[in-house]
Homo-oligomer: A and B are copies of this chain.
């Protein structure tokens, strides 16, 4: 029987509750967002006693469905002030689902400053004191926790950034080797966890694919079919396994949409030096501890992750994603992959979202705190966060806060969250997603890059305004469903391009739940997620005025295409209206 684990940090109690009927068919993002709408007053202080942190594996997590190991984490965002869901691929998702945990709800606030760890095993859950972990980064936290319990536990937790309740604090989740580099990074949920003085959640079980399905044989057959579909797709079967997500560096640079020097240019001369091809070549040459490609959770068949070694073959960091390589590279005019790796490692240790951290450094460079291109300067700046200096407190809050501290207007944020690695003037579909989604600038909320650049699911000219709102909306709906299933967003290339894609996922869903769902039902799952999230934000005080890009994107042409973002805001507003009413 599935259950909900309720952890009260005011009382230091844990309780296992049955899953309410209304939540039976929900999972992942669909469940975290619904619980937030039902239980959290939208106007509450994100770091106060009334916010909650909700963790939920996807509907398909805990099964052998390929790439179903995404773990959703939700809360009211300290960064945006709105609803937030961030997900990470991690064994923890399969484990929690296998243990029957539909969701973990962390609520309340302790009155003192003592940190705790939530320890979960097959015997149940309990809070344990964690004084010894306070003040530590995620590498040390993982080491200490494994010393305290044993080598095979998995961990999610916060570094110094979360303890300091900085609005760019992410939540670190383990990869299969126990590395801390899989982040539910965006939107500052690490600060919510830190505010509750919950340093980490430790899961101790060998169960990984133990969630029940209705027909094991048929389910296995469908999963194998889905594996084949994923492996047959050129993006998820070839490009991503070969070079990881950072295969995009040269592609987006070529497209003239690689935000360079804090969104001033669309191309960067040194892009190739920090590309996936270079990463793969270096990792192979240096004979590191892993292959150049690597998985983030068991059951992944795409293997887009990586472990990046130094010259002696010792791992510096895992993974270097495209978004991170861009944020900490071209965005800062840095073309040295080793510097990018060091910066990425600091983020993983202190517990910062790399996109937002790169954005913050870019704005700091804009302000002249250090110069563009100064890699050692960037490392020094980022190290301040873990040290807790005033400058660290500024940087650790993300790009918008740095802009405010230094009076800088050139800040590429929407709803306070920094844009990822695609300039919305040269890939207008992603600009629409940045603007429309409740999440703040977020590429994963509706990855229009697929049709704009990768020509997956058709082609919509990235430089034209036409068709982008429709494209983005369709993807936002589908993505909200994918995030609810616990599937990796990279399955979507197959879903878009392979006629067998969606039907197979629908079949898997039916054999998981015993339902008789259709593709329409999938889309209804997605729409309902968007409605729920929009309703939360409406209550929190959001209006269409917040669904806008910063003004310089409308007025300053981006070389080399010299285009501006000119999708009519009214078109986005009209489209969003369909999500304004809860069913």
Stretch at the interface among A45-53, A278-286, A287-295: A45-53
The answer to whether A44 touches B551 (Cβ under 8 A) is: yes
Q: Which of A178-224 contact B (CB under 8 A)?
A: 191, 194-195
A70: Cβ under 8 A from any B Cβ: no
- Give Cα A562–Cα B387 distance, bound, in whole angstroms: 40
Interface string of A374-415 (1 = CB under 8 A from B): 000000000000000111011001000100111101000000
The answer to whether A43 touches B390 (Cβ under 8 A) is: no
A553 to B: closest C-beta gap in Å: 12
The answer to whether A404 touches B397 (Cβ under 8 A) is: yes
A65: Cβ under 8 A from any B Cβ: no
Q: Which of A542-571 contact B (CB under 8 A)?
A: 542-546, 548, 550-552
Number of interface residues of A (CB under 8 A): 40
A332 to B: closest C-beta gap in Å: 19
Residues on B with beta carbons closer than 8 Å to the beta carbon of A331 = none
Stretch at the interface among A4-12, A160-168, A444-452: A160-168
The answer to whether A407 touches B164 (Cβ under 8 A) is: yes
- Give Cα A550–Cα B41 distance, bound, in whole angstroms: 13
The answer to whether B541 touches A166 (Cβ under 8 A) is: no
- Give Cα A542–Cα B546 distance, bound, in whole angstroms: 10
- Give Cα A401–Cα B195 distance, bound, in whole angstroms: 17
Residues on B with beta carbons closer than 8 Å to the beta carbon of A401 = 401, 404-405
A152: Cβ under 8 A from any B Cβ: no
A185 to B: closest C-beta gap in Å: 18
- Give Cα A491–Cα B397 distance, bound, in whole angstroms: 45
Residues on B with beta carbons closer than 8 Å to the beta carbon of A551 = 43-45, 48, 50
- Give Cα A165–Cα B195 distance, bound, in whole angstroms: 30
The answer to whether A393 touches B405 (Cβ under 8 A) is: yes
Stoichiometry, copies per complex: 2
A197 to B: closest C-beta gap in Å: 12
Residues on B with beta carbons closer than 8 Å to the beta carbon of A191 = 407
Q: With A391-B390, A404-B397, A405-B394 given, is the CB distance from A545 to B550 under 8 Å?
A: no
A256 to B: closest C-beta gap in Å: 25
The answer to whether A545 touches B42 (Cβ under 8 A) is: yes
A383 to B: closest C-beta gap in Å: 14
The answer to whether B45 touches A409 (Cβ under 8 A) is: yes
Give A81's nearest chain B residue, CB to CB. Answer: B545
A395 to B: closest C-beta gap in Å: 9
The answer to whether B43 touches A548 (Cβ under 8 A) is: yes
Residues on B with beta carbons closer than 8 Å to the beta carbon of A44 = 551
A411 to B: closest C-beta gap in Å: 8
- Give Cα A540–Cα B548 distance, bound, in whole angstroms: 11
Interface string of A503-542 (1 = CB under 8 A from B): 0000000000000000000000000000000000011111
Residues on B with beta carbons closer than 8 Å to the beta carbon of A538 = 543
The answer to whether A405 touches B409 (Cβ under 8 A) is: no
- Give Cα A390–Cα B401 distance, bound, in whole angstroms: 12
Give A384's nearest chain B residue, CB to CB. Answer: B390
Q: Which of A139-187 contact B (CB under 8 A)?
A: 164-167
Task: List, sorted by A's number, 9 A–B pairs whose CB atoms are closer than 8 Å.
Answer: A44-B551, A45-B551, A48-B551, A164-B407, A165-B406, A390-B405, A397-B405, A541-B542, A541-B543
* Further pairs besides A45-B551, A397-B405: 9, Cβ < 8 Å: A42-B545, A43-B545, A45-B409, A164-B407, A165-B407, A195-B409, A394-B394, A401-B405, A541-B545
